[in-house]
Chains A and B, each alone.
Chain A
Amino acid sequence: MQYHAPTSVDDALRLLAAENGNCQILAGGTDLLVRLRSEMGDDPESILDIKRIDDLRAITPEAGGWRIGAAVSGAEMSEHAGLVADWPGVVEAMNLIGSTQIQGRATLAGNLCNASPAADSVPAMVAAGAMARIAGPDGARDIPVAEVPTAPGRTSLDKAEFITSIHLPARPERGGDAYLRFIPRTEMDIAVVGCGVALTLDEAGICNAARVSLGAVGPVVMLVEAGAEALIGTPLDDAALDALAAVCSEAASPIDDKRGTVAFRTHVAGVLARRAASIAKTRAGGAS
């Protein structure tokens, strides 16, 4: 197996094109190395490490929001005061993944492209309206994060493309976000259900915008438009939160597997949505 560590995006694209589909991108390696070592695992001909590309290791302010390089680890995100202040939900979602050791390496882009239905960072990114910047032979393009995963383990990216950064928009005034997940232990588990909520309040404390996203209850992350509708125009009181919970349970279409049952996931999707919305409301400055 060949190992490449280019120092520019252009060099990386050239290498990807030359490898003709047999090359795996390495950022944090917390999914890739597990796949490589598993018995039924991947056997790529080469690995392309993007961590030597300086731009991809940076968190830079952009358009009032933040551009997070694809090689930035979850730990680095949690140490960035500005990012934590604006999008605590996204940061906490990323930092729920695995352990302290995993967070020392794992990345948003890697979590997104691994395309697990239960990926923790993805519902939070979707709720925040994050955009993925993709570098390819025809230049760079930006797409909503939700358009990256297409099925468990599959993305919409071409083999000659890779994600170079994630952009989080400017945090709206009186905006707040939160991510919660259900796991049986207190750490280390894959999410049985995940929910990301981002919302904004007007001066009177009424919700005027919301995005609600569910993970682990369908083959890919889902944006629950009816969830937003249940919140917008309300003061996020118990009635609104109950309606949100019901809508999210309704929207969930989970499976039975070794981590949870249909009935359990359906019920807990509603519970988490309510709790995440409450936290987002508090962060947006709403009365708790």
Chain B
Amino acid sequence: MSKIHVTTTINGDPVDFLCDGGESLLDVLRDRLGMTGSKEGCGTGDCGACSITVDGRLVCSCLMLGAEAEGREIATIEGMADGETLHPLQRKFIEHAALQCGICTPGILVAAQSLLERNPDPTEEETRYWLAGNLCRCTGYDKIIRAVLDAAKDMREAS
């Protein structure tokens, strides 16, 4: 079984790796590149814990082949903070206690960031529908939604 050589960009860094034809990008990130921030909760695109963006588009990395990353710009949770400086969403999640166990948190942060890039002033309903593909079992979503709306407000005021 010969492997595919993929050259791509992850969180702004040039990266290349070898992978099998049928290997998912999530498996590549976690098992070949050691980037375990994206999680596998279901493997079927139903939970969103593996969320990343590809060329700015929010997707489930469990439903993408590693080979498809060729030439693309991948962004994962590991690239959300700017060095020591947390993204406002990350800060607000801690402030609002918008996480309990934290397993869904990376996926939700990536998804929320994608929302706010497109819609800096979402309503509660828009936020809930955008995040419907990110399952959380601990929080009941209440504090998550509050954190996202509060981060959006901060980001609007800062810009």
Contacts and interface: CB of A to CB of B under 8 A. Distances in A.
A98 B42 CA distance: 14
A199 B92 CA distance: 48
A72 B81 CA distance: 31
Interface residues of B, number: 32
B60 A101 contact: yes
Contacts of A33: 24, 45, 62-65
Contacts of A36: 22
A78 B115 CA distance: 15
A128 interface: no
B68 A49 contact: yes
A73, A101, A187: most-surrounded residue (chain B CB, <10 A): A101
Given A47-B65, A105-B64, A99 B45 contact: yes
A20 interface: no
A250 to B, nearest CB: 34
A47 B20 CA distance: 12
B91 to A, nearest CB: 23
B51 interface: yes
A258 interface: no
Contacts of A102: 45, 60, 63, 133
Contact of A104 (B57, B62, B134): B57
Contacts of A187: 129, 132-133
A156 interface: no
Interface stretch (A1-9, A158-166, A240-248): A1-9
Interface string B91-131: 00000000000000000000100110000000000000111
B65 A188 contact: no
Contact of B133 (A1, A28, A100): A100
B21 interface: yes
Nearest to B71: A52
A161 B51 CA distance: 32
B48 A34 contact: no
Rank and list the top 9 A-B pairs by shortest CB-CB distance, nearest first: A99-B133, A187-B132, A1-B21, A3-B21, A1-B22, A3-B67, A104-B59, A101-B60, A33-B63
15 contacts: A3-B65, A26-B68, A30-B60, A36-B22, A37-B43, A99-B133, A100-B58, A100-B114, A101-B45, A101-B59, A101-B111, A104-B58, A105-B64, A187-B132, A188-B46
Interface of B: 4, 20-22, 24, 43-46, 48, 51, 54, 57-60, 62-65, 67-68, 70, 111, 114-115, 129-134
Given A99-B45, A100-B132, 10 more contacts: A3-B4, A29-B63, A33-B63, A34-B44, A46-B21, A101-B58, A101-B60, A104-B57, A105-B64, A187-B129
